[in-house]
Every structure is written in C-alpha cells, then in structure tokens.
C-alpha cells in the first residue's frame, strides 16, 4: 500500500498525555499547549477505516490553518503555529461538550432525516416540500453532543442549556460565532466557484475566553458543492458534484457498510486509496486557490518529531 501516516507515539518535553482520536493525535504540553498531529487516518460512520490516505493529514492541516487565519478577526482561535505540514500547535483550551453543526442546504444527515418524514431537526423546523440538496431559506444550527467514542447525538439548543452542558450566555456566543464564521467561509468558497454546504465547529475556553478550536472548513468537517451546474442538477434531481468526504460514505454504503453491528468494512484497494488521496488534494487546490506541494513521505515520523521538538524549544 501507499505510504501514509496512520499513528504517532511521540514523547515530548513537558508532555502530560496524548489523545489518539479518529484522525488526530493530540499531545498535551504542560496543560498550556496542544500539539495536534493530523494523521492520514480516515473515518466514516464513526469507524476508522483500515487504510490511511497519503497526504490527507497535510491537506486537512493546511486548509484548517488557512481558514483559522482567515477568520481570526471574527473569533479568537487556538492556533499558535504550524511547524510541520501535518502539525498545528495551539493553546490548550477546555472544549465545550457540543459540536456546532450549521447547514445551509438539505443534504447528508439532514436529508436522510427529512426523507424519513421528520420536519424538525435538533428542535429546528424544516420547511415542507423541499428536495435533496435544496438551499434552506436561512442556515440552520443543528448541534450534536461530542462523543469521544461512538456516535455523536443530535441535541436541541434548549437541552444544551437546560442540562447545563453549556451556559446560556456562552451558548449564545457559540451560535453567533458559528453563523459569522460560516458566513465568511461561504463568501470565500463562492470566490473559488464552490458552495459551502454545511460544516461543524468546535469551541473551547481558556482563561474565561472562548476560542475556536480544532479544524475548520476541511473536507472532513465540511461539505462543498461546485457552484457551476448546481441549479441544473437540482432541477433534474441529479446528484451534486461535490468535494467532501461524502463520496467515501457513499462508497461504503454501496459496499454494504454503514458502521452497524455485524457489518464489515469493504477492502480498500490501492487504486481506491489513491483516488481518495487525489480527491483530497483537489479539494485543497479548489478551496485555497493554491497549488498543493506534496511533503516528503520518506521518514515522515522523524520529520514531524524533529519539527515539533525544534518549535517547542523556541517557546
């Protein structure tokens, strides 16, 4: 199989612990900084798939870095530096236990719920008579609980506040920031001929201040359609041409896997892995307008470890 970064096990000066997530390995440095290594692991239906995708981690990390910079005037974010193509170092924040999902179009999970007859998602009403991939009159906020294992669950604004998962004051700020960052992302996408369809944001708090954390506007956290041909495809009831991880989910569904008990992940051939890698690179170039510069995959573990150590010594 192609070379891919699927796991790290570093030990840095001041390291208190490490969290191996579905895609990211996050190192806690003295409860002051987080070193986030974005691996080439890929997950779908809350399952980490058996093969890594070369350059996927670099793509996600560099897109997120660019969009954090492009929205820092709206909300403070956790990023301090990106000392390696696969790495972001940032402030250690206490994360809120919700993910802020915002949807501009009826697609994905929202469409599956709508198609089953539901007209309310996370306490938010959805108009009758809509079709798949149609634009909502206004973007809707459909938060989920943040599950460290298993599935995230839909939750309403009222439940979040009533259960004191987030205070009313903080939640109102999360809503405000979510709408404003989504609006900015929508404008940037439109300039590149893309539609930012839906996305999720995570927030945390440090010293009483709210920060935007983790990745934003990447193909793992967001869905993009091509603007060209959108209306024509919508009118014909055709699938939209899109840049997101949804095509991986669709491939899994077509091969009998949706993360349910007893189901087995289909074999990921080398050609399929390569095609996924190319799709991630395409997204990078489309959304950033930059040419993707492939990092050296030889001795990738050593490269990352050395770059992180050099940066930590400079703090």
* pLDDT band, very low/low/confident/very high, at 147 (cuts 50, 70, 90): low
Residue extents of the structural domains in the chain: 95-243
Among the listed residues 265, 263, 218, 266, the one whose alpha carbon sits nearest the alpha carbon of residue 243 = 218
Mean of the per-residue pLDDT values of the chain: 95
Considering the domain 95-243 in this protein, what is its CATH number?
3.30.470.20
Residues 204-245 have pLDDT tens digits of 999 999 999 999 999 889 999 999 999 999 999 999 998 878
Handedness of CA 48, 9, 305, 81 (dihedral sign): positive
Among the listed residues 72, 66, 99, 78, the one whose alpha carbon sits nearest the alpha carbon of residue 26 = 78
Q: Is 38 helix (H, G, I), strand (E, B) or coil?
A: strand
Among 56-70, 191-205, 224-238, 270-284, the least confident range: 270-284
């Amino acid at each position: 199989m192609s070379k891919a970064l699927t796991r790290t096990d570093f030990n840095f000066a001041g390291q208190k612990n490490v969290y191996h997530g579905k895609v990211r390995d996050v190192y806690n440095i003295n409860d002051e900084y987080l070193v986030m290594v974005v691996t080439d692991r890929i997950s779908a239906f809350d399952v980490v798939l058996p093969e890594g995708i070369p350059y996927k981690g670099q793509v996600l990390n560099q897109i997120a870095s660019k969009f954090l910079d492009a929205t820092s005037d709206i909300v403070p974010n956790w990023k301090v530096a990106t000392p390696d193509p696969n790495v972001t170092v940032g402030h250690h924040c206490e994360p809120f236990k919700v993910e802020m999902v915002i949807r501009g179009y009826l697609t994905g999970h929202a469409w599956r719920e709508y198609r089953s007859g539901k007209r309310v998602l996370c306490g938010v009403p959805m108009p009758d008579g809509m079709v798949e991939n149609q634009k909502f009159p206004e973007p809707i906020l459909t938060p989920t609980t943040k599950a460290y294992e298993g599935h995230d669950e839909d939750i309403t604004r009222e439940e979040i506040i009533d259960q004191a998962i987030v205070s009313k004051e903080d939640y109102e700020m999360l809503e405000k920031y979510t709408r404003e960052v989504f609006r900015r992302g929508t404008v940037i996408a439109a300039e590149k001929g893309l539609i930012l369809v839906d996305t999720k944001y995570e927030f945390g708090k440090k010293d009483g201040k709210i920060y935007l954390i983790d990745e934003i506007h990447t193909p793992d956290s967001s869905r993009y359609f091509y603007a060209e041909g959108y209306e024509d495809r919508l009118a014909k009831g055709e699938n939209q041409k899109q840049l997101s991880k949804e095509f991986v989910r669709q491939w899994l569904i077509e091969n009998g896997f949706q993360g349910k008990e007893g189901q087995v992940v289909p074999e990921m051939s080398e050609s399929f892995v390569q095609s996924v890698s190319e799709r991630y690179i395409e997204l990078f170039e489309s959304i950033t307008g930059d040419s993707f510069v492939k990092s050296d995959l030889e001795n990738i573990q050593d490269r990352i470890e050395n770059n992180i150590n050099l940066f930590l010594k400079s703090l």
